[in-house]
Structure 1
Amino acid sequence: MTSATGLDHIGVCTRDGPALWAAYERLGFALTPVARQSRRPGEPLGTGNRCAMLRQGYIELLAILDPALPDNGLGAMLDRFAGAHILALGMEDSEGNLARLRRAGLDIPGIAPLSRPVDAPDGPVARFERLPLPDAPEGRVQLVRHLTPELLWQDRWLDHPNAVTALRAAILVSDRPAESAARLSRLSGLALEPDPAGGFALPLPGEARVRILPPDSLDALLPGVTPPALPMVAGMVLASADMARTRAALPSATETPAGLMVPPEAAGGCALVFTP
């Protein structure tokens, strides 16, 4: 399949990994162990993550852990703001999607490898192939293929105290929503449709979507959320298997038109919206 296969993950980024990870544990997420990243074996990066693995998709919580090593561009993104800088759509055919994007005129040098150990530095290694959208002002927008999905989607990491089971949507705010939407459509190989709040939506396989909204639509959806920069992923929508458990895990969350919301300042710079 030479188009996107779903909403793979959203990456929330910081320079203070322990603080971000503690914040998400307070929100009722069970996180994977700390994992350091590498481009290839023998090419370590200064970045590392913990993740909230969901039955559909996941949340990556990425940090700079060693400033002396290359950070794969993360430092430059964090100079703008701490928050959601990564929007990853799934893919199955890396070579086919690379050829499609090159035919569309995108200057993509090739498939970018990435890997990280699971459980321990000398444990099994999860491997990925990426096709990043060049020079995307929205952040690190990319297609991702998991070469070792069985290492990440392990049953022990899929049950969360807050009852979240799936990543349903990314909410991207742009001062030029038509341009942002066109970039995402081009990357994904999928068609856009109007969003009921204004702007555009990119429906994805697996019942997920990316919503691309103008700034004047955001307050009606996420009251009080003010993006520190544009364009950016200002929020994500998460599906709960049990909203009573979700509310019990999030006593300070507020009801909004989009769902039960945790504000960006409590979630590393990205609003979290919980829905049934």
Structure 2
Amino acid sequence: MSGATGLDHVGLLTRDGPALWGVYERLGFTLTPVSRQSNEGGPLATGNRCAMLRHGYLELLALIEPALPDNGVGRMIERFEGAHILALGMEDPEGNLARLRRAGLEIAGVAPLSRPVTDDGPVAQFERLPLPDAPEGRVQLVRHLTPDLLWQPRWTEHANGATELREAILVADRPAESAARLSRLAGLALEPDRDGGFALPLPNGRVRVLAPEVSAVILPGVEMPSRPAIAGIVLGTTDAGTTRRHLGHLPLRETPAGVMVPPSHAGGVALVFAR
């Protein structure tokens, strides 16, 4: 299949991994162990922990050893610490590479990435097709070669009730341009967003691309330090009451989609737990 197959994950970037990981554990997420990343050139400066959901996941990526190559992560963190990675699933890397080249994108080839799942344990492997020079951040197609290593039951149950990644919300001063880039990468058609702007529908969720005035209604009080950017993430839950009880100590905001943890308490991105 040549085209995006779903909403795979959203990634947050930080200089201080332990601090961000602690924030998400206090939010009620069960995180995978710290995992160092590598590519075909060797070890990278980055390492992550992830909140694996039944569908999709959140990646919490940190600069662990800045002296090593960082694959562009440091440059993105200089913009702001928060959500910079938007990954859509794919099944056919070579077919998608050919499609994107026909569309005029200069992509060198399928980019491999790997990381051990646990210390001295099995290695998870991925294939990526990043959108070159995307101002929105690292927007990419990704294929999991070893999904069973990541989606283990011990990591997919969360005290806050989160079960699935439903939406990523991009805010852009020129939403039509950002939406067109996203559609080109995904190989899928856009549709009008219900609140104004654009939406990319996917089999297991969607990406919304909104102007700042629309985003201000969807995500009240959220202002991004620069645009275009991933401003919000919407998660499905098993039970809204469980979520509210677990997060009751935080300054939650009501939104049209559900209850929102503001960026100041979620690593730089608005985290909405849907009703």
- TM-score tier by shorter-chain length is over 0.9
Q: Unaligned 5+ residue runs, structure 1?
A: none
Secondary structure of the equivalent of 1:96?
Answer: helix
Q: What is aligned with 1:171?
A: 169
Selected match of 2:152 from 151, 154, 158: 154
Pair 1:211 & 2:208 matched: yes
* Structure-2-length-normalised TM-score: 0.98
Q: Output the amino acid matched with 2:191.
A: E
Sequence identity percentage: 71
Q: What is aligned with 1:238?
A: 235
For the residues of structure 1 that align with 2:23 and 2:258, how far apart are their CA atoms?
20
Pairing 1:56-75 to 2, within 5 Å after superposition: 56-75=55-74
For the residues of structure 2 that align with 1:157 and 1:85, how far apart are their CA atoms?
23
TM superposition outliers: structure 1 runs of 4+ over 2 Å? none
Pair 1:39 & 2:39 matched: yes
Pairing 1:1-276 to 2, within 5 Å after superposition: 1-40=1-40, 43-120=42-119, 122-206=120-204, 208-251=205-248, 252=250, 253-276=252-275
Once the two structures are superposed, residues 228-268 of structure 1 have per-residue CA deviations (whole angstroms, 9 ceiling, x without a partner) of 10000001000001111111111122222221000001111
- Displacement of 1:93 in angstroms is 0.4
For the residues of structure 2 that align with 1:80 and 1:233, how far apart are their CA atoms?
12
- Displacement of 1:19 in angstroms is 0.3
Once the two structures are superposed, residues 71-112 of structure 1 have per-residue CA deviations (whole angstroms, 9 ceiling, x without a partner) of 110000011100000000000000000000011111000000
For the residues of structure 2 that align with 1:267 and 1:72, how far apart are their CA atoms?
24
Tell me if structure 2 keeps the 8 A contact 1:163–1:241: yes
Q: Output the amino acid matched with 2:37.
A: Q
Secondary structure of the equivalent of 1:10?
Answer: strand
Secondary structure of the equivalent of 1:257?
Answer: coil
Tell me if structure 2 keeps the 8 A contact 1:175–1:231: yes
- Displacement of 1:119 in angstroms is 1.3
* Structure-1-length-normalised TM-score: 0.98
Once the two structures are superposed, residues 14-57 of structure 1 have per-residue CA deviations (whole angstroms, 9 ceiling, x without a partner) of 000000000001111000000000003x7000100000000000
Tell me if structure 2 keeps the 8 A contact 1:222–1:258: no
Tell me if structure 2 keeps the 8 A contact 1:259–1:275: yes
**How well do the aligned residues superpose, as a CA RMSD in angstroms?**
0.8
For the residues of structure 2 that align with 1:254 and 1:240, how far apart are their CA atoms?
17
For the residues of structure 2 that align with 1:163 and 1:258, how far apart are their CA atoms?
16
Q: Unaligned 5+ residue runs, structure 2?
A: none
